[in-house]
Structure 1
């Protein structure tokens, strides 16, 4: 369970309580950490999310795509100004 791909998103401390709740292993969190250190068990650290796209949105002709950026500026007197840029 400690090195399973099904539970790679679960932290080790939560994994110990989950194993107890599921009735698989009854051991404290410190025992889990000690056994992982003793037997050199490594948790899988594979990327769970898909890779980000390398190329962004591309327009085929002028004025095909528009983008507006909105920024909040806080002034010294405490008031707020919204700046919109095309």
Structure 2
């Protein structure tokens, strides 16, 4: 399964892509309310890795995040962890 999410923003600086996948790192300014920030991409990367998938980032008139996940075969038994 392939899932692509794109936006029309400025894109992601290729030199900073790995940085955005670290917990607590965000491109957005700190708001007056505070709160959790910089968790989304880190959590997505962890979930995708646990499912045996991949996550790619590209730029084309904005950022494009593409997640590729293996499909389970109906009735198949997952190997032990």
| The structure with more strand, counted as a fraction of residues | 2
Fold match (TM-score > 0.5): no
Q: Which has the larger radius of gyration?
A: 1
TM-score w.r.t. the length of structure 2 is 0.27
TM-score where L is the length of structure 1:
0.26
Is the helix fraction higher in 1 or 2?
Answer: 1
